Structure 1
Amino acid sequence: MYFGVLPYKYHIIPPYIVTLFIVLLIFVNSRMGNQFFAMDTKGETITFETKNVGFLAFLDPKPNKIDLPKYKLIRYEYNNGVISKDLIFYINSKKNPSNLTKVKFRLAYISNRNINNILSELDKIVQSNYHVKDKVEVAI
């Protein structure tokens, strides 16, 4: 591939450096996250989906998708790193001994405006769950 792309007068760069650079670009692109997202918070459920599109879609072909009732969302965390942005959901689950399931999504390609919209919607859901939880009384 290297010999066919560059003319012979530019062969001062060794082929292994070009190969290493291409592998590094593919690795960084795969670690940054998914390029497409869809979120739906209407009704009683939350649907959040991310998937890869483009020429590197073969690295992670299956979409990450979660569909859960709003009352199961306990909290969330948003981590804004140098290379990647992560959104972590903490969900109430009876399957784990700690009753908590953690689901992680990478959102590096999503704009800050869209991320702010996502976080504001999630804030509303978590606050409403917190207020409903406080008002529920347990009958003895």
Structure 2
Amino acid sequence: MRLSNKKKVPAYNFFNTLLLMLFSAGIIGFIFNKLKFDILGNISYALIAVPMLILVIFHLVGRQIFEYDSDGEALNFKNRNIIPFIHKELSDEFPKYKLIKFEIVAIFFIKRLYVTVSSKNNGTTLLKYEISYLTKKEISDLKVSLNKVVKANQEKRHQE
């Protein structure tokens, strides 16, 4: 199964650009208000604070692009930001038989996928992916696909 929200990149870029323009316009409006007009008083700080707060939240929620591929004998996970220098791109590929368990944690509007994988060195490795920008349907499809792999692995381990 393949899952990707790469088609939403133009929408995320548009929203990011819009927020940057609002932030820039807020700075200009703040400067004009302080130097020339002085109409808004202390409310003029909101011209900077509100767009900046929304912009920070947009980027703190996590990486916007998530790609998952379970076709074949390996699982592929990619997680990246629309602006490459903000977060490092995560890219992991491992055989399906190494998947032990997974967990999706949702706190307010932040959603994370935690994948536990067996490794030779220290037993298990925990991989973390940010899936806040996936829709409910995409998340449920991801759960179904990962559950199939986990159940198949448990059956193989039980038979051995």
TM-score, normalising length: structure 2: 0.71
Structure 1 stretches of 5 or more lacking a match?
Answer: none
**Deviation sequence 1:23-68 (CA, Å, 0-9, x none):** 4333322221221111110111000111111xx55421x3111100
How many pairs are equivalent? 130
Query: % of aligned pairs identical?
Result: 25
Q: Does 1:101 align with 2:101?
A: no
- Normalized per residue, the structure richer in helix is 2
Aligned pairs for 1:3-82 (under 5 A) are 3-5=27-29, 8=33, 11-12=40-41, 13-15=43-45, 17-53=46-82, 56-60=83-87, 62-82=88-108
CA–CA distance in structure 1, aligned partners of residues 27 and 147 of structure 2: 54
Deviation of residue 81 (structure 1)? 1.5
Amino acid at match of 2:154: Y
User: Which residue of structure 1 lines up, in the alignment, with residue 156 of structure 2?
Assistant: 132
**Partner of residue 15, structure 2:** none
Q: Is the 8 A contact 1:32 1:107 kept in 2?
A: no
Q: 1:75·1:89 contact (CA, 8 Å) conserved in 2?
A: yes
The answer to whether the Cα contact below 8 Å between 1:49 and 1:64 also exists between their aligned partners in 2 is yes
Tell me how far apart the structure 2 counterparts of residues 18 and 72 of structure 1 sit (CA, whole Å). 51
Q: Does 1:112 align with 2:136?
A: yes
Flag structure 2 segments of 5+ consecutive residues without an equivalent.
Answer: 1-23
RMSD: 2.1
Contact preservation (8 Å) 2:115, 2:128? yes
Mapped partners of 2:84, 2:144: distance in 1: 29
- 3-state secondary structure, aligned to 2:54: helix
Q: Secondary structure at the match of 1:86?
A: strand
For 2:126 and 2:93, how far apart are their aligned partners in 1?
Answer: 14
